[in-house]
Chain A
Amino acid sequence: MATTNGLVEIEGLEERIKKLGELSTQNPMMQKRIRDVIRQTLARVRKSLQGEAREGLQMEGDPRNAYKAVRYAVYRKIFGGQVNILSPRNAKKGRLYEPPRKLRPKQRGGNRRTRSDRTLELMSYMGPERGFVLRFLNAGTRVRYNGGRNGRTDAQYDTFISNHNGRGHRGSITARNWFGGASQHQLENAAHHIDKMIDDIIKGIIY
């Protein structure tokens, strides 16, 4: 504060007002920074959940790396986000897995041996679609029975089934119910992390 020949000013107050204005959530820069914080936090949450899935779901082998199917998203319109084990609704977006290159007709390549449809099918769900493995484990299934050619209801027809006359009990998967509790717990822990990071943002703006 200064008094100079009738002038009363509060030193630094205008600057402080300006900086407080920058802290507003209406400020695009502040919005971006908060979303960055949310993104970083959700990434940490996803990693933790993937670790839990890998260690805790007792998937023997997990040849398709199904644990990687835990995904996250940051909302654009509000400050928030989600973690999930859904498959992407639009396969064109964010497809992590690329199917092996298939030679065109009459094209000769190094690997001349054509892959069977089954091989391609097995390989194909390693990508975004593998989330179904986690969903099945999370939610479980009822007991399934494949009743034969006329009663195929639960599974696709394949050579294994044909070899066994198309019939057989397929058993059931016990529901783990892990995702809801685990994700909730992880997000609650992450809230403190968000606090700290947004504190750092405010500190960076004020000073």
Chain B
Amino acid sequence: MADVITRFKLETTQYDSKLRDSVKSMKDMVHMAELAGKDFKEFSDKAIESARALGEQATGATNAKEKVRELVKAYNEMADTYNLMSDTMKKSEGGKALAESLTTLQGRITEAKKELYNMGQTSGETGGILGKLKEKFVLNIDAMKLFSAGLTVGKKTLDVAKDAFFQSESNIDEWGRTVKSAEAAYDVFLNTLNSGNWANFFSNLSTAIQGARDLYDALDRLGSIKQNNQAAIAIVQQQIAQLRLAKQQGENVDDQLKAATSQLATLQKQSVYAGKKAGAQAVALTIANAYNTSEITPGKIGKKSLATVTNEIITQGQAAFDKYKKINDTLEARTLETRTTTTTNEHGITIQTQELYHNYEKLNKEERQQLALAKAITEGETRIQKGIGIYAQAVTEGTAAAREEFKGNRYALQGSGRSGGGGRGGGGGTKTVQTQEQLNSQQIQELTQEYLTASDERKAAIREEIKLLQDENKEIQRLRDEATGKIVRMNVGDVLPNNQGQIGQQLGNQFDKKIADSVMSTNLGIGRVDELTAMEDNLKRLTEAQKEFGGASSEVWQIYQQQIDAVEARIEGFKGGIKNIQQAANTVGTVVSAIGQAFNSIEDPAAKVMGTIAEAIAQVALGYGTATAQSASMGPWAWIAFAATATAQMIAMINSIHSATGFANGGIVPGNSLSGDNLSTANYGINSGELILNKAQQGNLASSLQGSGFSNLNLTATISGEQIRLALNNNSRRRGRGEYVTSNRIR
């Protein structure tokens, strides 16, 4: 019968649901931002308080000169931080507090310098000398300060810039020399500024710069040798291995073996020598720079003295440091004097001030030289340690090289003996193994005897050598057992009969492959659980096969069982690893999911940018929380948040996101200028926090919210059909109008 009525209904359930989800996610995001904001606020308040207090920080100086030095150092560090801030950050409360502190410190430095001047010191000469410095080196104080800022924080940047901009080896070397020289020059300048000993300033500067350049060249040579000799060493090592093999097969290659061993030793000694030289040079340069600019004694340290003290430090280590520290403390204590200053203020009240200072005139010339040296070593300990590290590495490499040489020569020697008895034919192989073992045992006995009377250093070396010889004997024993049939090495597949053997072989291979695949994929994480289950199934099958197989000897089954146990252990370990990864992923996911999903729910690329940044900030805040609670497990985020300039760095981090992507791809304008259209990006007045979307992103945003079609919001229009009629019937029943079924149709 013909229809006379057609109904339709708009289905809005999914539309409303999605809308609710989006709103809820956005509210979650607001909540998370608020939580992050609380952390920021607490941290920011502390940072501002800290910045304000910096200007009034106390000094531990016992005299005016030290006071100036400490204040200048503090000023430079603060200026570094301030210079790193963006303009926006400088305008913020924290930036203003830091600027105030800088001004305060500047005033205190001026006052301290005046005080120094009034005390009749030679600080007045610095102006003229700095002028000369400017003329000679085209440098000035401001440049030095800037350089200081760059040196402290921007060294990595310099390194990166070096890689990026210099292509040729000579340019790279010159750059490195310049950086090292500039560092040394700045050190000398700062030391001289602090000590007031301008007498040999230019001479010291030249020495320091030359020393730094030499040090750079020495380090460069060390690096070059290591790189350039890599291939040569590998080739010689390969030759030696081949010659040893040939020798085992009865060939007479002793002379070639000795020659190759000698060549290897020569190659390895080159880098050892270069390393020792660079390490010693670094130690000597540090001491010389500090000594030459010292206020205690005018003049330079002699080459012979420098070599002696460097050797002393390298060979005696901590004992040498202790010795010089003791000298330093003793002599410093002897120079300590009290000076009483009497002043009358504007109210006519007389004030007496007592000040502790060092009067080095109380010491004779030799004592002053000793003190200067001791102070240079004590105060430069950290830098000296770097040189010691380079030297120590070279010595370690030298030891290994010497051991290799020793082994190679001995091997060649043994070969000569065997060569003499070559007529014994095939039995020679076994005899060689036994001889080697006996030689090793004999060597161990000799070393044990020597150990009883050796020095501590030698004892350590003997222990290592004995261990090496014992390992060698163990390997010989193993080979002999294998040769005589005491140890049977075979795969699972070899011991199982026929079809079971094949199954076992296949399963064994599969285990190896699966385990290898799984271990490799642990970095990727979690998707291997199914494979793990499969591995366990296979293991179960293998165990069942083991039960069915009863013909093999107990030794064979022992090996077999060990293999199964090892596989089981690896599976368990792998499962543990997966669990950890899953837990870590869950933890991270929980932290950021609310924010990350908020905008993802409306599938908007531009909104995802916002979500990404929100995640970054949330992670920083989280890192800060972690840092304060568990300083031992600080991650990189925590360190960033925990640094003194954390707030600035957070802003810098957000800025870097924008600078990396640029507003060409859209983004959120960073900073604190929330009104007034002060920022000038793209010549438009913009404010921080405003979201800039490019044309495509605008389209995406519009599409996501309006629906690129209605379908994106899952609003569907259902036309006619059973559901509509049912809905209408229900509606009509509720309203007491009966049912729409067939009554209104003409059939």
Contact = CB atoms under 8 A, between A and B. Distances in A.
Contacts of A122: none
B41 A5 contact: yes
A5 B23 contact: no
B672 A80 contact: no
A79 B617 contact: no
A11 interface: yes
B26 A135 contact: no
A202 B707 contact: yes
A194 interface: yes
B453 to A, nearest CB: 69
Given A6-B42, A17-B27, A138-B4, A79 B9 contact: yes
Interface stretch (B255-263, B565-573, B716-724): B716-724
Contact of B654 (A3, A84, A135, A177): A3
Contact of A6 (B6, B19, B43, B654): B43
Chain B: interface secondary structure?
Answer: helix
B592 interface: no
Interface stretch (A55-63, A92-100, A164-172, A181-189): A181-189
Contacts of A151: none
A13 B672 contact: no
A161 interface: no
Interface in B1-26: 1-10, 12, 15-16, 19-20, 22-23, 26
B706 A203 contact: yes
A180 B6 contact: yes
Interface residues on A, range: 35 or more
Contacts of A5: 41, 44-45, 48, 92-94, 672
Contacts of A202: 705-707, 713
A43 interface: no
Contact of B37 (A7, A13, A84, A183): A7
Contacts of B33: 1, 8-10
A206 B4 CA distance: 40
B40 A13 contact: no
A10 B668 CA distance: 10
Interface residues of B, number: 71
A84 B720 CA distance: 13
B10 A194 contact: yes
A195 B6 contact: no
B86 interface: no
Contacts, number: 176
A80 B8 CA distance: 5
Contacts of B109: none
Contacts of B614: 1, 10
Most-contacted residue by chain A among B6, B27, B34 (CB, 10 A)? B6
A11 B688 CA distance: 9
Nearest to B668: A1
Given A6-B42, A7-B41, A194-B717, A80 B650 contact: no
Nearest to B609: A1
Contacts of B41: 5-7
Closest 5 CB pairs of A and B: A6-B41, A2-B689, A180-B3, A80-B9, A8-B37
8 contacts: A2-B672, A2-B689, A11-B668, A25-B16, A80-B10, A84-B744, A184-B719, A202-B713
Given A7-B41, A11-B691, A179-B4, 7 more contacts: A9-B33, A20-B19, A25-B16, A81-B7, A85-B5, A139-B746, A176-B2
